[in-house]
Amino acid sequence: MGSLEPNDRELAAYWMPFTHNRYFKQHHSRRMLAKAEGAYYWTTEGEKLFDALSGLWCCGLGHRHPKIVEAVKQQLDSVDYSPAFQMGYGPTFKLAERIVGMAPAGMGQVFFVNSGSEAVDTSMKMALAYHRTKGEASRTRFIGRERGYHGVGFGGISVGGMVANRKMYASAMLTGVDHLPHTYNPKEMAFTKGEPTWGAHLANELERLIALHDASTIAAVIVEPMQGSTGVIVPPKGYLERLREICTKNGILLIFDEVITGFGRMGTHFAAQHFGVTPDMITFAKGVNNGTVPMGGVIARKDLYDTLMTGPEHAVEFFHGYTYSGHPLAVAAAHATLDILATEGINERVKSLVPVLEDAAHSLKGEPNVIDIRNCQLAAAVELAPIEGKPGLRALKVFEEALKRGVLFRFTGDILAMGPPFISTPDELRRMTEVLRESIRAAG
């Protein structure tokens, strides 16, 4: 493979995802990673970076956890790939049972995919198939939410509410999709610690959409319990409970997109348990195997699965799946990850770090251009006032200043997000925040 530092031809050959390609390829100093271990990355220039977003919300247990590394190595000595169609591999079934056991009561089955995007599209197919099998084929409409992020499949961008994801591909998005308003109101919520007390009434907008379209046409509502990709938007107290109540009353499925919040980030297995609201389906990915091998899935309510088990037993009941569903390497990494979550007290460790992150993040109030700070369990965001006519540039400048000081943040628009590894120490979280303070001041 040669040097880890790419030459000009190699830089030009790679079309990078969700990246300002031209800018990156001109300014990639300190941005080429060479090594990862624990809560840190090292660059090709030898600089050590604290990983303030756990990879991309996925490596909560840190990088190269020895138990996960060993599990994947051992897996390669037995089965490298097994077909998921018409054949089975025992550890995959065992993993499904473990995940069901971690999920809220009433869940029964797991369908494995390879990413959060695929999980969302799968859950939407399940919803349509469920209603059709029940004799309610008119239920074809989906309700998403403004500012929601549900991946980059056509289903996900249709129910999602990220403008940049929608405007380019509008002609190919699904019809029959509507959106709830987002729940962020800076006038009422700015600098709130944890869940805002204002905003539960926004869930009542679902009743307006039901009155507009009629409940008999709506298959499912999909929301992130805590919206991560749009900058840690925290649900108001009572909001998710109200959505659940309205969906139940009208026979509409409720889907929680827990790609970011599942497997520890909330100090519980799933955000559904933290918020005390049980959906009909949960989509997951990222943390299920600590980001080691691509994997995702949908956890479905037992009666949803049972409803679809119709027709001749020799026929396929749900015509859907992926070549890499339940890939053995991903399964091995997931088993090791769940072992660690169970035996190393990770949920309790996360809970102990929550007040540390909250206090540290909110200490940035009053720094130049800081217009809001939000936090939800082990996630926080600092929002900056944009530079006039150049949205996103201020956060980019802060991001680059932080790299110089040894911390890798995630930015979206003019929001800096923090989702540190669960294995972080309180001192590391405090230092992370002080670096952000220094970087905000330096960026101007």
CATH number of 71-343: 3.40.640.10
421-435 mean pLDDT: 98
Residue 111 has pLDDT above 80, yes or no: yes
Distances from the Cα of 225 to the Cαs of 39, 153, 209, in angstroms?
Answer: 26, 20, 20
Q: Which residues contact 360 (CB under 8 A, 6 or more apart)?
A: 429, 430, 432, 433
What mean pLDDT, rounded, does the chain reach?
Answer: 97
pLDDT band at 147 (very low <50, low <70, confident <90, very high): very high
Which residue ranges does the chain devote to CATH 3.90.1150.10? 8-64+345-443
Residue 29 has pLDDT above 90, yes or no: no
Backbone angles phi, psi at 52, to 5 degrees: -75, -5
29-41 mean pLDDT: 95
Q: Which residues contact 198 (CB under 8 A, 6 or more apart)?
A: 185, 188, 189, 236
Q: What span, in angstroms and rounded, lies between the C-alpha atoms of 209 and 164? A: 24
Looking at residue 277, its amino acid is V
**pLDDT over 70 percentage in the chain:** 100
The string of pLDDT tens digits covering residues 58-107 is 999 999 999 999 999 999 999 999 999 999 999 999 999 999 999 999 99
Q: What span, in angstroms and rounded, lies between the C-alpha atoms of 401 and 40? A: 17
Of 253, 252, 437, 433, which Cα lies nearest the Cα of 360? 433
Residue 352 has pLDDT above 70, yes or no: yes
Secondary structure percentages of the chain, helix, strand, coil, to 5? 40, 15, 40
What is the sign of the dihedral through the CA atoms of 48, 376, 290 and 38?
A: positive
pTM to 2 decimal places: 0.97
For 152, the enclosing helix (H) or strand (E) is: none
pLDDT band at 1 (very low <50, low <70, confident <90, very high): low
Question: What angle do the packed helices 426-443 and 393-404 form, to 10 degrees?
Answer: 130
Question: Given this model, what pLDDT does residue 373 score?
Answer: 98
Which residue ranges does the chain devote to CATH 3.40.640.10? 71-343
Q: What span, in angstroms and rounded, lies between the C-alpha atoms of 82 and 36? A: 29
Of 123, 126, 120, which Cα lies nearest the Cα of 157? 120
380-386 mean pLDDT: 98
The string of pLDDT tens digits covering residues 175-219 is 999 999 999 999 999 999 999 999 999 999 999 999 999 999 999
Torsion of Cα atoms, 241 then 245 then 248 then 251, to 10°: -110
The string of pLDDT tens digits covering residues 235-286 is 999 999 999 999 999 999 999 999 999 999 999 999 999 999 999 999 999 9
Distances from the Cα of 203 to the Cαs of 111, 222, 244, 270, in angstroms?
Answer: 29, 13, 9, 21
375-402 mean pLDDT: 97
157-162 mean pLDDT: 95
Domain 8-64+345-443 sits in CATH 3.90.1150.10: yes
Tokens at residue 82, please? 């097994």
Of 8, 57, 13, 6, which Cα lies nearest the Cα of 31? 6
The DSSP line for 339-365 is HHHHHTTHHHHHHHHHHHHHHHHHTTT
Backbone angles phi, psi at 164, to 5 degrees: -60, -30
125-130 mean pLDDT: 98
Question: Given this model, what pLDDT does residue 175 score?
Answer: 95
Residue 2 has pLDDT above 70, yes or no: no
Lowest mean pLDDT: which of 26-30, 301-305, 352-356? Answer: 26-30
Q: Which residues pair with 257 in a beta bridge?
A: 283
Look up residue 176 and give its DSSP letter. S
Question: Given this model, what pLDDT does residue 3 score?
Answer: 80
